[in-house]
Structure 1
Amino acid sequence: MTDRPRGGLAALCIAQVASWGLLYYSLPVAVPRIADDTGWSHTTITAALTIGLLVSAVAGLRVGKLLDATGPRRLMTGGSLAGVLALLLVAWSPNVFWFYVAWLVAGLAQSAVLYPPAFAVITRWYGPQRVSPLTILALVGGLASTIFAPIVAYLIEQFGWRTSYVIMAIILGVITVPLHMVFLNGQWSDAPDAKASPQDRVENTSAVRAITRSPRFILLTTVMSLAAFALFAVTINIVPLVMERGMAYSTAAIALGLLGAGQVVGRLGYGTLSRKTTPRQRTILIYGAGAISLAALAVVPEPAWLIISLAVCAGAARGCHTLLQATAASDRWGTKNFAQINATLNAPITALSALAPVTGPALAAAFGSYTLMGMTMAGLLVLVTVASAKT
């Protein structure tokens, strides 16, 4: 397509790794050292990331509209600069209030630089051939924690968390700002004329609303949001889930690590799945497999190798869900106004995903066990699978 710049996919991949690694994964790595230094609880610190993700979900709606109208260069470069500011604020924050403000700013940055806008750009660049480059982007982005978690840990051990966040701000700026400035479109070639009549703009807005307010879109959004919630609530809490049934901590940690490997497997297989199934069929297949995996994880007591295999299967469902989320709107409604439509789809998915890590333990406490929490999430995913037949 004429809008696709040379080197754009590689630039987006590198920027995604840095953005995810520093604007998302840095905080989970830093939590213990921040808690030791400040006396804030782990829950208090982690909640800042949840707040940022909720802000990202809301801001993403506006980002989608701007992305369709103006192109990605200014928007995503601005997001990178906001990310730099956010990390500097984290380093400076003298109390919890300013720490939360810093992650609120980080949420604004996330809305402009993480997967949803990047997926929208890829979809615009590649059109009908979008699945393969989307898969590449998701696979490379999945390496963010592998690359940056040890880097962040090393920096914090050497310099302390505050100085480390200043260094991280510099790294983020040096990597992502020039990549977004140089390799992204300043304006889409077929962007609406700034002098377009009010009637034309109203018609465009009406076309988007006709889709996003349709019963099918609302059902799809609900289904995908609940699926993301169920999958994430169980898999992010897999260590206490399997330890509850007697698995050693070290083995449980291996299960968590291989769950991540399962996500890579799922993403690698998504291209083949997309060629052999309709959008509705693969939604049912992915969520059905996820429901079976979650239920089995919740009840299978042994042996350890079987539980770890089930964790890989659950990870594969999560990996497929990332690409299902990236392609669901374009598969059903095409690529016109894709960024706006996809942002509307992504907002509740992002919001529920942000709540899932803390909701899982809360439900386990309410039910009396992680096993019952896991079964509940598996049951929710069964209902989601059934509802997917109407999407």
Structure 2
Amino acid sequence: MAPTTTPVAADRTVRGHRQVFHGWWIVAAFAVTQTAGYGALYYAFAVLLHPIAADLHTTSAAVTGALTAAILAWAAAAIPVGRWLDRHGGRGLMTIGSLAGAALLVAWSRVHELWQLYLVFAGLGAAMAMALYDAATAVIVSWFDPARRPKAILAMVIVAGFASTIFMPLTGLSEQRYGWRTTLLVLAAVYAAVAVPLHALVVRRPPAGNGPAGRPATAQRAAAVRAATRDSRFWWLAVAFIAHSAAMTAMTVHLVGFLTGEGHPATFAATVAGLLGVLSVTGRLVLTGAQQRLRLTTVVAAVFATQAVAAITLPLLAGTRTGAVVGVVAFGIGFGVANLASPALLTDRYGTAGYATIAGTLATPVTLAKAGAPLGAAALYTATGGYTPVLATIGAACLVAAAGILARAGTPAPATEPERLLPTGKHAGVSEPVASSKGRPGPE
């Protein structure tokens, strides 16, 4: 099989020990700030949902709409945030985002009307886009060459994968003892104390001209973004991750309801659902190990297909506790896989110039899917009177995701792709063609 030409980020110079060392300090800082950020800004909502609804004299569904507003704001901010990160780096933006997140937690603790809650959460969505995973990944991509980048991202997401495991129980205990308003003030203090100084003091732009992390020209970034949006592989990737994101979010929201509907106690259902956070770490480790021997697209498609089978067969398995655990474990192994696969597939194809903008373009529809999927699943449940059609739809979405990944891998690269990526056929030090063949496992 003739090798195909694939542009990947090139480490044009030998990186000094100081730069590599500081890059790992950034990874360590993000491991902490992303754990605290997701725990305080995102996962706390599920724990405080019912106390807030009771205090505001409204329904849980009305309060849940505030989270939808946050996710919509997050999606709207994804592309502008990506453009800013490409041009200016993450230090200022992520510091402001973490400051805003802490301030909005305080504002959240003071709401007395539903409209105030929605307003606060619209701001929280923008703050999360500025300070959480997408921004952190863009910074790591700019600091590390292709050989070190997967390990750097893996180190961050493995630690952050325990955010729900750490923060949800602690938030619940605090709420029971002090109430939800005081709990939010505590979370605001913890998040501000952790994220603001680490983002302000540790995050910085890589030295200009040292490897792919230099400051590419505006024209080069624009060319890389155009190459992505005109490339059929990018849109197959979008189909895959939109479908997968919708399936993951719908399952997360409705799993406890499904298990209790099967006759399991609420404590058992919550415990089994809590496995998803731990399994996200396991899935990332499995992906990292498997891609050493197999193509990344093959491994990801296989994981998505496994999730499809698990979701479709879960109604048959969940009648017993053992069957429920087996089904959830099989499905949960795919949680977190997209977080590792997406940066690898994007940088392998388009290099690092314009990465944050390209990733933001992909994140916008993916985030919208996260906002709409739980509502769609709830509507389907209401219309059919059961969870079996919901789980079948989740399984079908996982199959679509697997097909999208395989279609992305099978779409031939344009013969003159390097010349299309940047003006006048020059790579300007941000990407270079690297032959990859069937005999060399890689993202293709």
Give the alignment's TM-score, normalised by structure 2.
0.81
SS in 2 for 1:291: helix
Shift in CA distance, 102/257, structure 1 to aligned 2, threshold 3 Å:
same
Q: Find out whether 1:364 has 2:407 as its counterpart.
A: no
Percent of residue pairs bearing the same amino acid type: 29
Give the corresponding residue for 2:57. Answer: 39
Give the corresponding residue for 2:419. Answer: none
Aligned counterparts of 2:107 and 2:76: Cα–Cα separation in 1:
21
SS in 1 for 2:86: helix
Task: Specify which of 117, 140, 143 is matched with residue 162 of structure 2.
Answer: 143
Aligned counterparts of 1:228 and 1:149: Cα–Cα separation in 2:
22
Shift in CA distance, 102/118, structure 1 to aligned 2, threshold 3 Å:
same
Q: Is the 8 A contact 1:12 1:137 kept in 2?
A: yes
Q: Is the 8 A contact 1:63 1:112 kept in 2?
A: yes
Task: Specify which of 112, 118, 135 is matched with residue 117 of structure 1.
Answer: 135
Give the corresponding residue for 1:197. Answer: none
Aligned counterparts of 1:182 and 1:106: Cα–Cα separation in 2:
23
Question: Which amino acid letter does the alignment assign opposite residue 256 of structure 2?
Answer: V
* Higher Rg: 2
Map of 1:280-299 to 2, 5 A cutoff?
A: 280-299=297-316
Shift in CA distance, 354/251, structure 1 to aligned 2, threshold 3 Å:
same
Task: Specify which of 93, 109, 116 is matched with residue 111 of structure 2.
Answer: 93
Residue 301 of structure 1 and its aligned partner are, at CA, apart by 4.8
Q: Is the 8 A contact 1:263 1:312 kept in 2?
A: no
Q: How many residues align?
A: 385
Residue 158 of structure 1 and its aligned partner are, at CA, apart by 3.4
Q: Is the 8 A contact 1:299 1:371 kept in 2?
A: no
Q: Is the 8 A contact 1:60 1:343 kept in 2?
A: yes
Aligned counterparts of 1:209 and 1:86: Cα–Cα separation in 2:
36
Shift in CA distance, 143/203, structure 1 to aligned 2, threshold 3 Å:
closer
Q: Is the 8 A contact 2:381 2:390 kept in 1?
A: yes
Q: Is the 8 A contact 2:29 2:198 kept in 1?
A: yes
SS in 1 for 2:353: coil
Q: Find out whether 1:102 has 2:120 as its counterpart.
A: yes
Q: Is the 8 A contact 1:245 1:301 kept in 2?
A: yes
Aligned counterparts of 2:45 and 2:80: Cα–Cα separation in 1:
26
Aligned counterparts of 1:124 and 1:203: Cα–Cα separation in 2:
15
- Deviant stretches of 4+, over 6 Å: none
Question: Which amino acid letter does the alignment assign opposite residue 381 of structure 1?
Answer: C
Q: Find out whether 1:259 has 2:276 as its counterpart.
A: yes
Q: Is the 8 A contact 2:240 2:403 kept in 1?
A: no
Contiguous gaps of at least 5 residues in structure 1? 194-199
Task: Specify which of 365, 368, 371 is matched with residue 354 of structure 1.
Answer: 371
Q: Is the 8 A contact 1:300 1:307 kept in 2?
A: yes
SS in 2 for 1:174: helix
The answer to which structure, 1 or 2, has the higher relative contact order (CA under 8 A, 6+ apart) is 2
Shift in CA distance, 48/346, structure 1 to aligned 2, threshold 3 Å:
same
Higher helix share: 1
CA RMSD of aligned residues (A): 2.1
Give the corresponding residue for 1:204. Answer: 221
Residue 203 of structure 1 and its aligned partner are, at CA, apart by 4.8
Q: Is the 8 A contact 1:65 1:339 kept in 2?
A: yes
Task: Specify which of 171, 190, 200 is matched with residue 152 of structure 1.
Answer: 171
Give the alignment's TM-score, normalised by structure 1.
0.92
Give the corresponding residue for 2:323. Answer: 306
Residue 186 of structure 1 and its aligned partner are, at CA, apart by 4.7
Aligned counterparts of 2:354 and 2:50: Cα–Cα separation in 1:
43
Residue 102 of structure 1 and its aligned partner are, at CA, apart by 0.7
Residue 132 of structure 1 and its aligned partner are, at CA, apart by 1.7
Residue 312 of structure 1 and its aligned partner are, at CA, apart by 0.8
Residue 303 of structure 1 and its aligned partner are, at CA, apart by 3.4
Task: Specify which of 167, 170, 176 is matched with residue 189 of structure 2.
Answer: 170
Further displaced range: 279-288 or 12-21: 279-288
Aligned counterparts of 2:136 and 2:85: Cα–Cα separation in 1:
10
Give the corresponding residue for 1:337. Answer: 354
SS in 1 for 2:262: coil
Further displaced range: 342-351 or 331-340: 331-340
Q: Find out whether 1:219 has 2:219 as its counterpart.
A: no
Q: Is the 8 A contact 1:286 1:321 kept in 2?
A: no
Task: Specify which of 211, 220, 230 is matched with residue 247 of structure 2.
Answer: 230
SS in 1 for 2:145: helix
Give the corresponding residue for 1:275. Answer: 292
Shift in CA distance, 360/277, structure 1 to aligned 2, threshold 3 Å:
same
